Structure formats: structure tokens, C-alpha cells
Amino acid sequence: MIRAHKIRLHPTPEQANYFARAAGVARFVWNWALAEWNRQYEAGEKPTALKLKKQFNAIRRVQFPWTWEVTKNASDQPFLDLGKAFTAFFEGKAKRPTFKSKKTSKPAFYLANDQFELGDHRMWIPKLGWVNLAEKLRFVGRVKGARITKTADWWFVSIQVEIPEAIPVNKPAAVGIDVGLNRLATLSTGEEVENQAFLKTALKKLRQANKRLHRRKLGSKNREKARQQVARLHYRITCLRQDVLQKLTTKLADSYGIIGVEDLHLKGLLKNRRLARSFADASLGTLRRLLEAKAAQRGGLVIKVDRFFPSSKTCHCCGWTWEAMTLKDRFFVCQNPACPYDQFPQDRDYNAGQNVLREALRLIGLMDQAVSGTGSDEDANLPADAE
């Protein structure tokens, strides 16, 4: 298992200048390699990352001598990254690689495991020396590599470490999760997690900072200061959102072995001009991605319930469906006289969480039958106290 630990760096002004120059070399090499790849491809040739690297090294000392002022990985790794990017593009897994702009792209460069050394709260980098780390490396294992990036005004290093696979512990408990905007998550157990809406809270400050930025003269120092203020605000919002999502998904993965979630069409939701910003602020896609990764590491299982499953419109007790239900109806009222919840208002999201759990367990039953080749429809039925 490969885990990454992102640590903040505390470089001196000279060291920060080195990082900026190394990131500039990596960006320049990427753009040169991409332009040469496109030229050779249009000429009918078959370019590869290795061929481009040899071609660049042949002219490097004469045409680009300044690229030797930083670590060699800054100019070597972009070729490998470009090769992987084109492989993913030709397989239909990603978009075609594009050129990197100095203004819009994030400054970053890679370090191989033989190009740096870790000490007590410090890191040694070729042609630079020791750089202070904000904390020690959290994981113990074989270091695979590191990537140094800049976010807002701060430099970070993400160190990849290969650690032994942990023995998963099976947890019999199961839970269903209904996600939304009013509440970030409502569990089938009745627990509720409020949507903090960090972007909405900081929107006034962001608007003021952006106005201040666009009033400044292009290329001036005041404009750069205003740009950094906007970047710091965005970084703070990201950190607050990540903190909530990380803690929530860790708690769920540690507590439950089976987790049912709705398979929402997130790209379609982001096309709604009225709710797109709210959905982006909630970051439901990150929530599901983190949950899947952490559950797999802990021996759990995340079951995706079909997006068209009427979890909110169906009574979790008797199965009666409220077809005329709208988004304004925040409480579910069952109209089935034979249902124990007849005419009893229950929270809409809690009812949906119960239905998501039951559907997830039903799907697991069907999966078990398909694997074993035995069983009947009665085996897939859910007991009333399954939660």
C-alpha cells in the first residue's frame, strides 16, 4: 500500500526562490515536450517520452543551460508525466494534455527517492541543502518519492511511502447515508451531519478580495498582494472543508463494515445554475471518494445504490411510494393504512437513509447469490432490524 503524507515546508527566501526556479524548469520542460510531441505526431512520427527526453538532453547544454541550476528531476520527470498523460488520453480515461501557464498552473516539481533525504523535521534536497519541515513523516516504510507544490503563499511536500498492507477487520454493522445540501449526511441511525457551507460563509470576503484584485494595475506589486490574499482565502476554505470530510469518512469507515450511498450524477448536478455552487461547496464527490478508499483499507465495503432508486419517496417500513413528493416536502408522511407509520411525519432524509441501507443490503444479497450460485429471492429479503 502506498500512502502519501503532505507536510508544510518552512523555506528561507533563498530556498523559496530555488523552489520557484525548479517549478519553472518543470513547467518549461513539460511545454517543450508537449509542443515537440504534437509536432512529431502531426508529421506522422510516433513520439515517445524516452525519445523526447534523449532529444532534449542532446540540446540542453547549449540551448537551455539554466535548467542545470536545479535538481535533475525537475527536467526529467515531466517527460514521464507527459507519457502517462498521453497513455490515459489514448485509452479514453482523460483529456488531451495541455500547455501549462505560469499564471494559472500550480508550481510543482518531483523528487525521486534517491534525490532527497529525510531527517528530524528537515529534508535535504540536491543543490539546496536542508529545508525545515513542519512535522515528522507520519508513516514508516520505504520512501518512493516526493512532489513539492505551492498553494497560496506556502510550499508543501507530499511524500509517498510504501507500507505493509494492514489486516482488515470485518465489522458486521451496516449503515445507509443520504447526502444533500440542507444536511451534508443523514445516517440511517438517525445521526445528522450539518453542511457547514464554508464557501457560502466566506463569499462576502471573497467578493471583496476579488474586487480589490481587479482594481489593481496589471503587473504591479499591489496586484500580486491582492492575488495572494484571494489565494489564501480559497486555501482556508479548502482546509476547512477537507477537515470535515476527512473526519466524517474516517469515523464511518472505522465504525461500519457495510456503507450504502447514493450513486449521484454529480456532473449533472453541477449543471444546475441555481444549485451548482452549493453542490460544489458540499463536495459530495470527494466525500464518496474518501469513503470508498478508507472503507477498502479497513476491510469495509461501500455499496452504491442506483441514482434512480426513489429513496426519499418510499416508506422504509411498508414500501408505499409518495409519487407527488417535491423538494419542499421536508417530512415524509405514509398514506398506507396498514403501515405502523401511517400519518406519522418522519424526517425526509432519515427515511431516505433507511431506504438506502435496505437497498444496499439487498444488493449485497444478490451479489452473494451470484457468487455462490445458490439462494432464492427470500434469502435477499431484508429483516426489519437489519440496521
- Select which of 178, 281, 292, 359 is catalytic: 178
Query: b/e string for 164-196 if b means 16 or more Cβ within 10 A?
Result: eeeeeeebeebbbbbbbeebbbbbbbeeebebe
Q: Which residues contact 62 (CB under 8 A, 6 or more apart)?
A: none
Of 43, 37, 24, the residue nearest 89 (C-alpha): 37
Euclidean distance between CA atoms 293 and 298, whole angstroms: 9
Concerning whether 114 is annotated as a catalytic residue, the answer is no
- Select which of 281, 349, 359, 387 is catalytic: 349
Euclidean distance between CA atoms 303 and 289, whole angstroms: 12
- Select which of 262, 281, 359, 387 is catalytic: 262
Radius of gyration of the chain (CA): 26
190: left (phi over 0), alpha (psi -120 to 50) or beta: left
Euclidean distance between CA atoms 235 and 237, whole angstroms: 5
Concerning whether 178 is annotated as a catalytic residue, the answer is yes
Euclidean distance between CA atoms 264 and 64, whole angstroms: 49
Concerning whether 262 is annotated as a catalytic residue, the answer is yes
**Residues noted as catalytic:** 178, 262, 349
